[in-house]
A and B are shown apart, each in its own frame.
Chain A
Amino acid sequence: MSNNYFEIIRAGINTTFQDRGRCNLYHIGIPFSGAMDNRNYLLANRLVGNKLDTPVIEFAYQGPLLKYYGDKIYIAITGDVIFKLKNKDNEIVGNCYESYQLENGDEIDILSTNKSVYGYLSISGEFNLKPQWGSFSINTKANIGSNDGKKLENNQKINISKINLSQGKNKINYLNSKVENIRVLKGTNFNYFSEEGKKIFFKKEFIVSKLSDRMGMRLEGPKIDNIVNTNIKSEGLLKGVIQVPADGNPIIMLSDHGTIGGYPKIGVVASVDYDRLVQMSPGSKIKFKEINLSDAETLFKLYEMETQNLLSQI
């Protein structure tokens, strides 16, 4: 039995294990979950030579402070993250998209994400975790997934079951693009809203509110007026669906969303923009741009090619 582990000195705000998420459980009320920003999740794994579906540590805003005990291991951090690496002799400011070697007693201090929300920490190897329904992803609202479905806590130990040093030091140049425009397809209840409301939705600016988490993102701004019915017969939801309840403020469903909902759907975020959407922190401005289905499909293909291209450079 190996004895490699991290001690969590400070857990951070919302630190969980995430992978690609779990499928085919919507009908019993369980969402996909999984890493919010899929591209950064994949890059984190590739930088340390892991299989791409290996679970990583996801953090939001302030990340964890971890002390490492054990044999030599590589780590990498992706996203737009400010962090430090400390050993007994010195302290350096780390770069995202670059792997670092840790030795016994070293510390990783993930101070914060920079004008973004989520970041990822991967290790060259595997955490000692139990999957649930085919995924290690933690859904803290339903207590589903590894770590008993709970976020990581101070003083907890994170055991590492396997270390893989086959790949040496790695790095890639990558910059997360910051955007204001999010492309949206019209939703199934688009015509529930007044002409003025439709115009507001696609022309005006909204602000990401503080009431945003892995379940959903609430927006503030001009109210969107409903002229048909502020409720629909409850039906399925998806990540990216934008619902407008009676108060006229849009809510965007994110990866841990409830699977059924009864508010009208004004739009759905195009898959190509999902990774960028989730990184918009409270206070960010957001504008919706209408896109049709075939353009959304084409742009997603291009985004996927770009992701594959980045992965192949490592």
Chain B
Amino acid sequence: MIKNISNLGDAALYCDFGTEVNKQINSEVIKYFNTIKEKNIKGINNLTPSYNKLIISYDLRIINFNEIKDIIEKLNVTETLKIVNKNLEIPVCCDASFSLDMKRLEKKLNLSQEDILSNFFGKEFFCYMTGFIAGLPFLGDLDENMRVQRLETPRVKVPKGSVGITEQFANIYTYESPGGWNIIGNTPLKLFDSSKEKDPNLINPGDTIIFKQITLEEYENYNE
């Protein structure tokens, strides 16, 4: 449930679902997101679901804060929506040329490369949200012993396809972009297809992911 609604500026509603990050709160956020999206409410021009917040942007020429708050508060979100979540396998190569922060991770986590990789590749991840750059998924949760802070100085350019970890989360850089996550490997898979008018994202909130380790040779010969 929404714990509190406030304004974020004069053209957005900030719906707070809590401070923790877990699947239960996140699925509430996604339920609201899907319901509001389906209702096509006049004036709403964007929705941003995240771990435990939903931001609703609107056109101030059409509707204002109090009007939209009223609509959201009266919204009936109990109806079941038919959302098909996917289970995906993402190939990742951890050749030294890709795993840019392996040394740092070994040191910070006090784990060997083998331990890090076996933990990372054995797990099922859940997609909480996508964004920052087009199609980038925020995945969780890493085990306690795998959690590490962002780089002290973020990279100006993280290579496209890089798989990064920070805190309890993993992500995949869909484009070359600035970024501060610890890079563990790289996927040859295309995660964002700008030629698709509908559903350009491969991974969407609610999907589950398992990373599968591949060799450099498999990476180079990868064909989608």
Task: State whether the Cβ of B201 lies closer than 8 Å to any Cβ in chain A.
Answer: yes
The reply to whether B134 and A23 contact each other, CB–CB distance below 8 Å, is: no
Residue of A24, A234, A296 near B51 (CB, 8 A) is A234
CB-nearest residue of chain A to B47: A27
CA distance in complex: A293, B57 (Å): 15
Q: For B47, what are the chain A residues with a Cβ–Cβ distance below 8 Å? A: 24, 26-27
Q: A233-265 CB contact bits vs B (8 Å, 1 = yes)?
A: 111111011000000000000000011110001
Give chain B residues whose Cβ lies under 8 Å from the Cβ of A23.
45-46
B194 touches A26 (CB 8 A): no
Residues of A within 8 A of B9 (CB): 185, 238, 240-241, 268-271, 296
A-contact 0/1 string along B42-55, CB 8 Å cutoff = 00011111111111
Q: Are the CB atoms of A260 and B8 closer together than 8 Å? A: no
> When chains A and B are docked, how far (Å) is the Cα of A301 from the Cα of B220?
56
- B48 near A265 with CB under 8 A, answer no
What is the CA–CA distance of A25 and B201 in the complex, to the nearest angstrom?
Answer: 11
Is the CB–CB distance between B48 and A260 below 8 Å? Answer: yes
Known: A24-B46, A238-B11. A260 touches B129 (CB 8 A): yes
Question: Taking A259-B132, A297-B60, A297-B65 as contacts, is the C-beta distance between A241 and B8 under 8 angstroms?
Answer: yes
- Given contacts A132-B194, A187-B8, A240-B9, A26 and B134 within 8 Å (CB-CB): no
B51 cross-chain contacts in A, Cβ below 8 A: 233-235
Measured CB to CB, the closest approach of chain B to A238, in angstroms, equals 5
Q: Does A176 contact B (CB under 8 A)?
A: no
Q: Is the CB of A258 within 8 A of B131?
A: yes
Cβ–Cβ < 8 Å partners of B46 in chain A: 23-27, 32
Chain A 181-216 against B: per-residue CB contact (8 Å), 1 yes, 0 no?
000010110000000000000000000000000000
- In the complex, the answer to whether B19 meets A293 with C-beta atoms within 8 Å is no
Is B7 a contact of A260 with CB atoms below 8 Å?
A: no
Closest CB in chain B relative to A128 CB, distance in Å = 19
- 6 pairs from A and B in contact (CB 8 Å cutoff): A23-B45, A29-B133, A29-B174, A142-B175, A240-B9, A300-B60
Q: Which residues in B have some Cβ–Cβ distance to A below 8 Å? A: 6-12, 14, 19, 21, 33, 37, 45-55, 57, 60-61, 64-65, 129-136, 138, 174-175, 177, 192, 194, 197, 200-201, 205
**Other than the known A26-B57, A29-B132, what 8 A-B pairs have Cβ atoms closer than 8 Å?**
A24-B37, A143-B175, A187-B8, A233-B52, A260-B50, A260-B129, A271-B11, A300-B60
Give residues in A with beta carbon < 8 Å to B: 23-30, 32, 132-133, 141-144, 149, 185, 187-188, 233-238, 240-241, 258-261, 265, 268-271, 293, 296-297, 300, 304
